Amino acid sequence: MSILTLNNISKSFGQTEIIRGVNLAIEDGEKHAIIGPNGAGKSTLFHLISGLHTVTGGSIKFKDQEIQNRPAFEINRLGLARSFQVTNIFHRMSVFENVRCALLWSKGFRYSFWHLLGRQGELNDASMHVLEEIGLSDRAQYPAGELAYAAQRALELGIAIASGADLIMLDEPVAGMNISEAQSAVELIRKVTSGKTLIMVEHDMNIVFDIADRISVLVYGEIIATDVPEKIRANPRVQEAYLGEVPNSA
């Protein structure tokens, strides 16, 4: 069963068409990677699904609800969470507060100004549990903005997964990391997304072929292929788009 369906999605900025009629169905529980050259529109596609941008045409269905052009916070409440390519955390707040805030809505606190956070034992335990999962429990009280880069990326991931969303979208989660950092990031992604649906944009093909069940290739705003990794590697159109570099690297 598809958890997310894109139906002929298009997006233009002025005269420039960035996304040109994308159709895609993501199965429940699948790990799906979107690859493609720079400027193909991968991040834009993420922004359209998660509600940061409005679509120019087409429809997006998440769990049988049409979500295109709905505000990001409503889409998030349905169980769709995402991370960002450029680290997007609450930099002046502590690491613990970052995660606790990410948990508030899903724990039912809504816009409450009558609950004292310190008294919410279950919420605070859950926040510490997320911190343990992403390996930051020892830096819980640090201002998030002062963490090292890899730790900030882990926190970025933690904020996305904290609420227990069913569909998690990660935009270049290991970009800018060295090899060992990237390796532990991959382990972490595997751990925190197990049993969930994952869509990720990633440039590192080793990681893509390692994690993904299926891969979609986006070139100039169009998906030219969606298939399992082996078939994507063998696809001549994909090889052409990547000038033959990519498929060997896995």
Partner 1 sequence: METLKAIAKKSPIWIAYLAALLGLPLVFDSILAISIFNQMAIGIVFALSYNMLLGQGGMLSFGHAVYFGLGGFLAVHTLILIEFETVYFSIIFIPVIGGVIGLLAAIFIGSFSTRKAGTVFAMISLGIGELIAASSLIFSDFFGGEAGISGDRTYGPTFFGVDFTQNDQIYYVAAIWVFIATLFMYLFTQTPAGRMANAVRDNPERAQFIGYSSRRIRFISFCASGLFAGIAGGLFALNYEFITEENLNAATSGRVLLMAYIGGLGYFIGPIIGAVVLTLMNSLLSNYTELWMLYLGIMFLLTVIYLPRGFAGFIMMHQVAWINNRIKSLGVPYLLIGLPSLVLLAGIIAMVEMSDHEGEAFYYFGFKLNPESFVTWAVVLVISLSAYAGVRAALPQLKQAWESANAVPDSEDPKS
- Where on the chain is the footprint of partner 1 (CB under 8 A)? 50-52, 71-73, 76-77, 81-82, 84, 88-93, 97-98, 100-102, 104-106, 109-119, 121, 124, 138-139, 142, 159-160, 162-163
Contact 47, 3 (CB under 8 A): no
Report the distance separating Cα 164 and Cα 248, nearest Å. Answer: 36
Report the distance separating Cα 105 and Cα 138, nearest Å. Answer: 25
Do β-strands 197-201 and 31-35 pair in parallel, antiparallel, or remain unpaired?
A: parallel
Report the distance separating Cα 12 and Cα 55, nearest Å. Answer: 8
Could you tell me the smallest distance in angstroms from the CB atom of residue 7 to partner 1?
Answer: 23
DSSP type of residue 161: H
Could you tell me the smallest distance in angstroms from the CB atom of residue 50 to partner 1?
Answer: 7
Minimum CB distance to partner 1 smaller for 136 or for 174: 136
Minimum CB distance to partner 1 smaller for 89 or for 208: 89
Could you tell me the smallest distance in angstroms from the CB atom of residue 205 to partner 1?
Answer: 27
Contact 222, 21 (CB under 8 A): yes
Minimum CB distance to partner 1 smaller for 101 or for 224: 101
Minimum CB distance to partner 1 smaller for 119 or for 180: 119
Minimum CB distance to partner 1 smaller for 79 or for 221: 79
10-40 burial by CB neighbour count: b if 16+ within 10 A, else e? bbeeeeeebbbebebebeeebbbbbbbeeeb
Judged by DSSP in three states, 187 sits in helix
Could you tell me the smallest distance in angstroms from the CB atom of residue 132 to partner 1?
Answer: 15
Could you tell me the smallest distance in angstroms from the CB atom of residue 197 to partner 1?
Answer: 17
